Amino acid sequence: MSSDATRSPEGDSSLGSAFDIPTDAAGIEGLASAGVAPAGESPPVSTTTSTARPPLGTGRLEAADLGVINIENGAALNVTLAYRHDGPGPDAPQILVIHALTGSADAAGDWWEPVIGPGLALDTNLVGILCANLLGGRYGSTGPTSVDPVTGAAFGAAFPQPTARDEAAALWALADRLGIERFALVAGGSLGGMVAQEVALARPLAVGHLAVLGAPAATGAMALAWNHIQLELLDAMGERGLALARQLAMTTYRSEADFDGRFGRQVEPDGRFSVASYLDYQGGKILGRFDPDTYRTLVRVMDGHDVGRGRGGLHAAFRVLESTGTAVTGIGIEGDILFGPDQVRALVDAAAGAGVDAVYREIASSKGHDAFLIEWDQLTRFLAEALADGLARSGY
């Protein structure tokens, strides 16, 4: 299955990461310029500009030009988002799914493939599924690798810094462009769960159910600390820093039990501990598909996440959802050290305290944070439950 299966140089078959979305080394931009997709990869993104409504239901990666979006830092960005839409169009119920840190728009063909499709939890015979590469992303959306029209060169580190609210604004602009007025369900994990909250809060009347997987209502101090170290590595060492940042991040995506079970104190033929070999491999792999400026941009989106900012705190923010009847499911993950179950419970408690119909669910797993890309049976159950509620609330 393409979303998670990777193999280390030592031949150890190992599951991938919530932040590890396989894509051609050139990125979606490279695939588009080549005109064809290599075997096993996603089709190219359309790069044509048109005033017509982009297509729906193709199950392929497309691109939509959204015009100028004014982001919170005062910049005006001419935004294109890469996206994929599967299933029926706007006359049917719609779902928005949102990727994690280094993700792509290809949820249905890659990182959530086991839960999206005919007869699956998010059944494309019945509902349309939209996923977009986030603003500032690496795979076809406007970001640091895009050309700055002022300089004629890539934005790089000068790319204007978006927030999770800017991400939500861009996603709603895409929905408008596609003729989607309402989502029965908005769901995302990790960074995607942060943006999902802002999507619901931006237009609560247009969201039936919000499902947040492995994400808090505001990024906590420990995650900020880990991100700080990663950003310092990027700033000091460039691509080598990106590889090291990725290695550090990988230790937060899995659990102690998972690492002990997979690696223990095993030693490779070259004398390295197996866990060190694995981390070196992951650090090298990120360099083939990502870049320091994009990584920095999206980590800072995560750092700035706080749904209570400027809204009078969490309860006041979630009270908006209570007034519109939007329900919330918070899905924590056993053994998650990045955004642990207590942080997701706190989100649910804040929403419930504001009068929202909010429930907590927990994925039982030894895999840690990445379980929302691994534990398919449990994900199927929780997502189907949230979708059924969202459909009812949306009048379907």
Marked catalytic residue, from 258, 336, 370, 389: 336
Marked catalytic residue, from 369, 370, 389, 394: 369
Our answer to whether residue 369 is catalytic in this structure is yes
CA distances from 20 to 125, 206, 230, 369 (A): 28, 31, 16, 13
In 3D, which of 240, 275, 233, 271 has the Cα closest to residue 254? Answer: 275
Marked catalytic residue, from 42, 190, 274, 277: 190
Spell out a b/e string for 207-230, using b for 16 or more CB atoms within 10 Å of the CB, else e.
Answer: bbbbbbbbbbbbbbeebeebbeeb
Our answer to whether residue 190 is catalytic in this structure is yes
Tell me the residue type at 267: V
Strand partners, 26: none
Tell me the residue type at 140: G
Tell me the residue type at 282: Q
Q: Are 216 and 344 in contact (CB under 8 A)?
A: yes
Catalytic residue positions?
Answer: 190, 336, 369
